[in-house]
Amino acid sequence: MTGAGLPAVQRLQFFVSESVWKPDAVNARRLELLLADPLTAPHGGGVLVIDDSGDRKDGSATAHVGRQWPGRIGKADNGVVTVTTAWADERVYYPVHAVPYTPARHFPKGKNDPAFRTKLTIAAGLAVQARDAGLAFRAVAADSAYGDQDNFRAELSEAGLPFVMALKPSRGTWAYGPEAHTPADAARCLRWGGEREPGDWQPVTRAFRDGHTEDWWAADATLGWWGPDGARRIVVATTDPGTLPDKATWYLVTSLPRPGGPREAESPWPAAALEEVVRVYGLRHWVEQSYKQVKDELGWADFQVRSDIAIRRHQVLVNCAFSFCWDAWFAHPEPPPSTPPPPGDAGGERGLNRRRAAAGTALAAGSARDTRLALPLDRAATLVARVVHGAAPAAAAGPDELGRGRLRPAPLHP
């Protein structure tokens, strides 16, 4: 709390809590820039990932706070949960929209209040919002928290959005006694005689961003009214069809038709082979990497504000910072692995030092820059040098000493 009352800190607090800028408008502009740049523009081979993430927050005065399941903690606790969408392909991934979930206790009539929205309702609305914003994607991807919900899948279908989502292995489905009742039962009903006699299984190859590949097996299964040519396909993907290891087996439900099947001609979406279904769901995991970077590096959960609008502004600013990180990445590409280090370059903690290009050529070749885009890349070295040379001494100064001998920043224009 030391220094919390200083003018510079208060100006930032005012910018997030009291100023009048609209977070939705800023986020819409961010998405416009991402869509216009060939390096980040979404395309039909990517996926729209739906997920939610929560963080612990004390007290009861903060908007959206309540006792719920903030993923990282692994148990119910007091916190704020936000439903998010992210776009991803094999090369890039970035957040799209975010809406905090408001627990029922914040509404006069609880869950019966007309203004109350479940996480599933919020998620379906965000998927439609992403499509309407111009984002192209092959399908919506989500984990079993969403895939197990019949109403959620129905909402996506009614909105004309294809999906590939996970199911819990033990998710129960009505069936006659001897038939499969769970996705795990359906997988065990598939014929498997080893790699030489794979039976119902087909080999699929998963490719990763670092260039390595893994050999998996996949098959269309039958579970109740779901089957290879039903309105819903159930696909099982695993590293070992014989043992179906828990941590390396996916049970997936998708609305994408099977190539050559009777639903292909009437489907509004292109058919998807088993390898394509596995690829689409594999891209869902980029959202976990995105959360690590957004939370651990960019301070998604470190807001010290209470109102709904301030929380949304903070989240939009973090998403803007995430997008700037991609811009910096493309502006300073990694050298090819086979390129020998230049003479005199010393290796640092993160590898070889890279020479900075001239200011005029530092930007990535993409959308034309204009006066509405604040791009700080050309000033990064100067800013870092100022931080280093102006670093505080090891002993923390008291509040009375912070202003001595230092120029205070000029106040922001109203």
3-state secondary structure of 28: helix
Question: Rounded to an integer, what distance in angstroms lies between the CA atom of residue 222 and that of residue 327?
Answer: 45
Arithmetic mean of pLDDT, 64-79 = 72
343 pLDDT exceeds 50?
no
373 pLDDT exceeds 50?
no
Contact 53, 79 (CB under 8 A): no
Arithmetic mean of pLDDT, 59-75 = 73
Q: Phi and psi for 23 in degrees, rounded to 5?
A: -65, -35
Question: Rounded to an integer, what distance in angstroms lies between the CA atom of residue 96 and that of residue 87?
Answer: 7
> Which pLDDT does position 390 carry in this prediction?
47
Tell me the per-residue pLDDT of 95-151, one tens digit each, with 9 for 90 and over: 999 999 988 888 889 889 999 999 999 999 999 999 999 999 999 999 999 999 999
Least-confidence region, from 42-46, 198-202, 298-302, 307-311: 298-302
Token couple for 224 = 């109740």
- The pLDDT confidence band at residue 206, using thresholds 50, 70 and 90, is very high
Residue predicted with more confidence, 67 or 390: 67
Residue predicted with more confidence, 56 or 271: 271
Q: Is this structure's pTM higher than 0.85?
A: no
194 pLDDT exceeds 90?
yes
> Which pLDDT does position 337 carry in this prediction?
58
> Which pLDDT does position 73 carry in this prediction?
62
- The pLDDT confidence band at residue 335, using thresholds 50, 70 and 90, is low
1 pLDDT exceeds 70?
no
> Which pLDDT does position 386 carry in this prediction?
47
Arithmetic mean of pLDDT, 34-55 = 93
Question: Rounded to an integer, what distance in angstroms lies between the CA atom of residue 374 and that of residue 129?
Answer: 26
Phi/psi-derived region of residue 211, left when phi > 0, alpha when psi is between -120 and 50, beta in every other case? left
- The pLDDT confidence band at residue 353, using thresholds 50, 70 and 90, is very low
Arithmetic mean of pLDDT, 250-275 = 95
Question: Rounded to an integer, what distance in angstroms lies between the CA atom of residue 111 and that of residue 156?
Answer: 22
Arithmetic mean of pLDDT, 310-316 = 92
Least-confidence region, from 40-44, 173-177, 275-279, 324-328: 173-177
* CA distances to 33, 330, 356 from 327, in Å: 11, 5, 15
Which of 60, 81, 221, 220 shows the shortest CA–CA distance to 145? 81
- The pLDDT confidence band at residue 239, using thresholds 50, 70 and 90, is very high
> Which pLDDT does position 74 carry in this prediction?
66
Arithmetic mean of pLDDT, 215-239 = 93
Arithmetic mean of pLDDT, 82-94 = 93
The DSSP H or E segment spanning 309 is: helix 308-331
Question: Rounded to an integer, what distance in angstroms lies between the CA atom of residue 190 and that of residue 221?
Answer: 7
Token couple for 98 = 């975010």
Least-confidence region, from 13-27, 28-42, 49-63, 75-89: 49-63
Q: Phi and psi for 309 in degrees, rounded to 5?
A: -65, -35
- The pLDDT confidence band at residue 344, using thresholds 50, 70 and 90, is very low
Least-confidence region, from 18-32, 184-198, 349-363: 349-363
